[in-house]
Amino acid sequence: MPQLPGTDLTVSDLCLGGNVFGWTADEATSFAVLDRFMDAVDPQPVFVDTAESYGDGTSERILGGWMAERGLRDRVVVATKASPGRKEHPLSAGEVRAAAERSLRNLRTDVIDLYYAHFDDETTPLDETLQAFDELVRAGKVRYAAASNYSAKRLAEAVETADRLGVRGYVALQPHYNLMERAVYEDELRDVVAGRGLGVLPYFGLARGFLTGKYRAGERVDSPRAAKAAEYAGERGDRVLSALHEVADAHGVPMAAVALRWLADQPTVVAPIASARSVEQLADLLPMQDLVLTDDQRQSLTDAST
C-alpha cells in the first residue's frame, strides 16, 4: 500500500475524486460508486478526495452520509480542501478555521485526514495561513495539511516559512499533472517536492477524460468535460492515444488504467486522482491497481507525450 511520505497515512493506489458527487452523479449513484471502490481496494484504505467548493458542500455531504450510513469512517482516508469561493482572503486564519468546521460538519467526522489549501492566496501572509493549519492539527481536527495548485516558488516559500515558524507545514501537493500536462510539474514543481520529501497526488489524471480514448477528433461525447477534453486532440494527442492503445491491448485493460498507472509510476507520485460518474466508468479505472508496466512500455508513453 502506498504511504504518504512523512505521515502515517497509508492510502489506496488510486484516489477516488469526489468532484462528481452531486454534480454528474446523484447521491444514489455516488453511493454505488463508493461501495464498488471500497470493495475493489480492500484491504487498502478507501482514499477519497473532495472539497468544500464541490457543489457548495454537496460532495462532502454525500461522502459524509455514505461513511455514516455504512459505518466506515475508520476505513476511509478523507482529503478535502479549504476553497476560495467568494471569500476576500480565503486562507486567512479565520476563513481556514471556518472552512474546516463546515467540512467537519458536512463529512460527519471529528477529523480530516488530509486538509488542503485549495488554491494559493497571496493576499494572506504565509505565516498566518500555515499557523492556522498548524492550529487545526494541534487541535486534533486535521491530521495533516497540504497544498493544491501552488506554484513552485510559492510552495518553496511555504516550506521555508513552516521551517522558520517551527510548524508542521504541508506534507503533500496536489498539482495538475498527467500524460498531456507534464511541463509545469516536471520542469518546475518536481524538484521542490523531491527536495522536501512531499507526496504528490495529481488531479485530472485522465486529462479531463481525454486519456480514456473517447475524445478523438471529430467524435461527439455527451459529457460536461467534452469541450475541455477535446482541446487535447491533435498530433500530440493522437500519439499519446496510440501509445496508450498499444499498451492497453498488450495487457487487456482499458486505456484509462494504463494512463493512471503511468502517472502512479512517476517519481514523487503517491496516488493519482480520478473520478467516475458511474460504476461502469469506475470499472475502467480499477485495473490500474494491479497493472505492471514494463520499462519499455512506460518509456513509450513518456516519449509519445513529449
- Domain boundaries of the chain, sorted by first residue: 15-174
Residue-level pLDDT at 1:
85
Confidence of residue 217 (pLDDT cuts 50, 70, 90): low
Sheet harboring 142-148: ordered strands across?
199-200, 170-174, 142-148, 112-117, 76-82, 46-49, 15-17, 273-274
Buried b (16+ CB within 10 A) or exposed e, 58-87: bbbbbbbbbbeeeeeeeebbbbbbbbbeeb
Quick one: 15-174 is in which CATH superfamily?
A: NADP-dependent oxidoreductase domain (3.20.20.100)
The owner of cell 488531479 is 203
- Residue 35, C-beta contacts closer than 8 angstroms, at least 6 positions apart: 70
Residue-level pLDDT at 11:
98
The owner of cell 500536462 is 181
At residue 26, φ and ψ (nearest 5 deg) are: -75, 180
Count helices and strands (H / E) in the chain: 12, 8
Question: Which residues are the active-site residues?
Answer: 54
pLDDT in tens, 47-97: 999 999 999 999 999 999 999 999 999 999 999 999 999 999 999 999 999
Residue-level pLDDT at 228:
79
Q: Residue ranges of the alpha helices (H) in 14-166?
A: 27-41, 58-70, 93-107, 126-138, 152-165
